[in-house]
């Protein structure tokens, strides 16, 4: 059975920005393609290289299943080759996104991994979403809309395969635990948790009728700054579509509202997620606003037929305009909360250093 299945793996890493944290350099993307073409020969079925802002993504198909040491090693070696090119060009912050030693699994070493294994259907449409300047809980909102909200997804009430709903796996980042919640009956519990995006992260969704995997999120990242495993940035999301899963258009519909996420400048601000075509995934204004791109594929005998640039559609023009209006409104708050995150939500900050400078001057009230 296992040999009939295909694994789709998407690895993301920041190996150095161009310019600053805005975008990626073409030579780095070329290095990724060249390395995967040579080192991946005989090990993977197909690959593609994508990028969103300054984050690089390696898309691979293979038959090794999820969390395979060899496949993770291939991604690691590819990122190292890319980092060497980035260092040569003196691109920005080349050493921040990855630790130095590979220990068998790329998760927890800096890069993110979103992987799913499935038996290919007669036709297998899949959407890959990549974010930039958005933290890990960013997908909670669209995942809820796609798989639990009939006002977004008409198929939840009209496709018999979806009528029983979906199971959401939710990770508690603080306690290192996870819980499975079934919708529609546990919808309110799901919202109670998933609404707290800095602590609870939806990591996967499966169809209740048969347990088929519907969506996966790259959930863990090593927070290089804080020196711990935690919610970091630039998550990837994979969603299977059509014939018993939400239609492509239903999945895309969830992105028509520029919801607010943590991230943006210095990962310290909330901002709207702006869906953009590939060529507009350059986070230049205040290192943002946060971006999302969507690469559409048909998987055909493990070949990646695509990508189709899904947000290259005037249907999202108003979403982008609203995102810009929200960005203007939020930016006028400058350093004030809630535009700036509460101190306990900051991924990294030099505020403790600043506070230290004046600590002697605090007097008892």
220 binds Mg ion (CB under 5 A): no
Q: Which helix (H) or strand (E) holds 31?
A: helix 26-39
Task: Give the chain's radius of gyration (CA, Å).
Answer: 20
Q: Which residues contact 183 (CB under 8 A, 6 or more apart)?
A: 147, 148, 165, 166, 167, 168, 190
- Residue nearer to Mg ion on the CB measure, 54 or 117: 54
- Residue nearer to ligand F6R on the CB measure, 254 or 265: 265
- Residue nearer to ligand F6R on the CB measure, 253 or 287: 287
Partner that binds at residue 287, options ligand F6R, Mg ion, none, CB closer than 5 to 8 Å by kind: ligand F6R
The least distance separating Mg ion from the CB of residue 252, rounded to whole angstroms, comes to 24
14 binds Mg ion (CB under 5 A): yes
269 binds ligand F6R (CB under 6 A): no
285 binds ligand F6R (CB under 6 A): no
- Residue nearer to ligand F6R on the CB measure, 21 or 320: 21
287 binds Mg ion (CB under 5 A): no
86 binds ligand F6R (CB under 6 A): no
Number of neighbouring beta carbons within 10 Å of residue 15: 31
Q: Which residues contact 163 (CB under 8 A, 6 or more apart)?
A: 156, 157
The least distance separating ligand F6R from the CB of residue 225, rounded to whole angstroms, comes to 9
54 binds Mg ion (CB under 5 A): yes
Partner that binds at residue 124, options ligand F6R, Mg ion, none, CB closer than 5 to 8 Å by kind: none
Partner that binds at residue 267, options Mg ion, ligand F6R, none, CB closer than 5 to 8 Å by kind: ligand F6R
As a whole number of Å, the end-to-end CA separation of the chain is 70
User: For residues 233 and 265, is the Cβ–Cβ distance under 8 A?
Assistant: no
Partner that binds at residue 26, options ligand F6R, Mg ion, none, CB closer than 5 to 8 Å by kind: none
221 binds ligand F6R (CB under 6 A): no
The least distance separating ligand F6R from the CB of residue 347, rounded to whole angstroms, comes to 9
Partner that binds at residue 266, options ligand F6R, Mg ion, none, CB closer than 5 to 8 Å by kind: ligand F6R
287 binds ligand F6R (CB under 6 A): yes
Query: Helices 187-194 and 140-148 meet at what angle, rounded to 10?
Result: 170
345 binds ligand F6R (CB under 6 A): no
Size of the site for ligand F6R (CB under 6 A): 8
The residue nearest ligand F6R at its CB is 287
Plot region of 306 (φ>0 → left; ψ -120 to 50 → alpha; else → beta): left
Q: Which two tokens stand for residue 67?
A: 């969390």
Rounded-to-integer distance, Cα 316 and Cα 255, Å: 8
93 binds ligand F6R (CB under 6 A): yes
DSSP per-residue codes, 241-303: -STTS--HHHHHHTTSS--EEEETGGG-EEEEPEE--GGG----BTTBS-EEEEEEEEEETTE
User: For residues 239 and 310, is the Cβ–Cβ distance under 8 A?
Assistant: no
User: What is Dmax (Cα atoms) for the chain?
Assistant: 71
Q: Which residues contact 136 (CB under 8 A, 6 or more apart)?
A: 173, 201, 217, 218, 219, 221, 231, 232, 233, 235
Per CB under 6 A, contacts with ligand F6R among 9-28 are 20-21
Q: Which residues bind ligand F6R (CB under 6 A)?
A: 20-21, 93, 133, 265-267, 287
């Amino acid at each position: 059975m296992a040999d009939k299945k295909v694994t789709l793996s998407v690895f993301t890493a920041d190996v150095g920005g161009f310019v600053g944290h805005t975008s990626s350099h073409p030579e780095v993307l070329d290095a990724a393609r060249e390395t995967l073409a040579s080192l991946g020969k005989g090990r993977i079925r197909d690959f593609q290289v994508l990028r969103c802002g300054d984050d690089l993504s390696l898309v691979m198909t293979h038959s090794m299943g999820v969390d395979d040491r060899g496949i993770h090693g291939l991604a690691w070696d590819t990122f190292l080759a890319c980092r060497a090119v980035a260092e040569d060009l003196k691109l920005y912050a080349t050493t921040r996104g990855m630790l130095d030693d590979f220990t068998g699994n790329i998760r927890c070493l800096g890069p993110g991994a979103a992987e799913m294994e499935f038996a290919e259907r007669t036709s297998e449409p899949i959407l890959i979403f990549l974010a930039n300047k958005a933290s890990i809980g960013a997908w909670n909102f669209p995942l809820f809309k796609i798989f639990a909200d009939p006002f977004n997804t008409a198929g939840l009430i009209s496709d018999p395969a979806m009528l029983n709903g979906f199971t959401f796996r939710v990770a508690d980042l603080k306690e290192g635990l996870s819980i499975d919640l079934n919708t529609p009956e546990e919808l309110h519990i799901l919202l109670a948790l998933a609404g707290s995006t800095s602590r609870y992260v939806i990591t996967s969704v499966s169809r209740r009728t048969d347990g088929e995997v519907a969506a996966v999120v790259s959930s863990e990242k090593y927070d290089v700054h804080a020196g711990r495993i935690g919610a970091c940035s630039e998550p990837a999301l994979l969603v299977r579509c059509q014939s018993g899963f939400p239609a492509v258009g239903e999945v895309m519909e969830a992105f028509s509202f520029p919801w607010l996420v943590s991230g943006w400048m210095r990962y310290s601000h909330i901002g709207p997620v702006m869906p953009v075509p590939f060529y507009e995934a350059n986070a230049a204004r205040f290192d943002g606003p946060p971006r999302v791109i969507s690469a559409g594929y048909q998987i055909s005998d493990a070949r990646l037929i695509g990508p189709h640039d899904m947000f290259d559609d005037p249907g999202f023009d108003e979403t982008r305009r609203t995102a810009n209006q929200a960005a203007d409104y939020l930016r006028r708050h400058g350093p004030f909360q809630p535009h700036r995150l509460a101190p306990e939500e900051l991924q990294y900050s030099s505020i403790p250093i600043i506070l230290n400078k004046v600590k002697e001057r605090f007097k008892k009230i």
